Each structure stands twice: as C-alpha cells, then as structure tokens.
Amino acid sequence: EGWEAIQSDLDRVPIFTVATPEGNPLAYQVTINADQPYTVPFFYCDVGDALRELEGAKNNTTMEGLDIVPFPLGKAFQLWCKDEAVIVPSKQAVMQAGAPPGTNPVGQQVPMFACLEIMEENEDGTGVLPLFMSLDDANAAVKEAVAEDGGRAEDLEVVCLSLSGAVEQLATIPETPGFHFIPPSTSMKYISEYLS
C-alpha cells in the first residue's frame, strides 16, 4: 500500500493534543540522546492522559483558553517519523504490552492489540485485521466474536504489535492483509459527548 492509503486509514483514528484557542498544539522541549533540545508537540493516544496534561498546562502557564483537540493519527505519525512530534501511548496500554510498572510512556512504541483469528470484511470484500489501541476493546471484540460465531474466548489469543511495525508491514510487505485501525472507545465517547 502507498503511504497515502495508509495515512488515510490512520487519519480515521483521533488522538489528542493540548492546543491554544486557535487550535495550535502546545510545544514541549525534549532532548534525545543528550543532543540539542528541540521543541515539538505531544499527541496523546489516551484522552484521559490528554485531559491530565491539559490540567497541568493550565496550572503551569498563563495562556487562556487551552483545551484538548482531536488530531488525525496519520498526520501525527508522519510528524513523528520526521522527529517533529511525540506520540504518547496510553500508560495502561504500555503496561498491558509488557512494560514494567512505572514506565514513562513518552518515547515508547504505540502498542496495538489484535486477535489474528478475527477478521472483518472491507467494502470491497477483502479481509482486514482489526488493530485496537485499547486491549479492553480488543478483548470485547473477542467476546463479541465468540457470542456470534461460537467457541471459547480463552481459545482466541490477543497479541500486541507496535503501530510503527504495523505501518512498516503495510508499506513493505505486499501480501500483508489490510488493517482496520480502531481508536479507543473512550476517545470516541469523549468526542461524541463533546459534540453533543
């Protein structure tokens, strides 16, 4: 798949950034490997983490009207690849992916969760593998599949992949099945409530 198609799929997934009333993301200074510090926006995969960061920003700055805004994951991923942004995975997802307790999610890979035995059908009839940003959502999909198709949830394993690994597979291995990137249900609920 070309990058445009991959980005289009990723852009359906909202992540969040703390932004000014004009919609400009706040930038933070980061240093990697003792290099010169640089200033980049942070994008949060978990809406709860973004809301906590918003509270911290409101307490540490005199700027008025700060809020969190959804931002397309594909665009953030593109910025991240060029070291022009930081994508912060959910603290909970990082732990569920096997990181030790207390691991700082900043700088970690974004974990994605999938059950390889569960495929969806695309509009064109081809199979796509749902990749969830939330383990809870992946487990709920397994239970739903078992309820519809029979079997036992214990027999279906949920595995962890990284977002960058999934994108790399799509970009470099032609026989890779399509992925359906699924945002956390908590993010979609927050957006729905915000808009109503």
pLDDT of amino acid 32: 67
DSSP state of 117: T
- How, if at all, do strands 127-132 and 120-121 pair? antiparallel
pLDDT of amino acid 161: 93
Position with higher pLDDT, 118 vs 54: 54
pLDDT of amino acid 164: 93
Reduce the DSSP state of residue 168 to 3 states and report it: helix
Mean pLDDT over residues 19-32, rounded? 87
Position 4 confidence tier, pLDDT thresholds 50, 70, 90 = confident
Handedness of CA 140, 157, 13, 83 (dihedral sign): positive
Cβ pair 167, 181 in contact under 8 A = no
Distance CA 40, CA 37 (A): 10
Cβ pair 112, 159 in contact under 8 A = no
pLDDT of amino acid 33: 67
Share of the chain above pLDDT 70, in %: 98
Q: Average pLDDT of the chain?
A: 89
Nearest Cα neighbor of 114 from 169, 39, 69 is 169
Task: Please list, in sequence order, all residues whose beta carbon lies within 8 angstroms of the beta carbon of residue 142, skipping any fewer than 6 positions away.
Answer: 115, 118, 153, 156, 158
What tens digit of pLDDT does each residue of 47-76 get?
999 999 999 999 998 888 999 999 999 999
pLDDT of amino acid 126: 79
Unique residue bearing structure tokens 């400009």: 24
Position 88 confidence tier, pLDDT thresholds 50, 70, 90 = very high
Dihedral (C-alpha) 92, 97, 99, 104: value to the nearest 10 degrees? -40
Position 114 confidence tier, pLDDT thresholds 50, 70, 90 = very high
Angle of CA points 66, 70, 121, to nearest 5°: 170
pLDDT of 1 above 60: no
- H or E element that contains 118: none
Q: Is the pTM of this model over 0.85?
A: yes
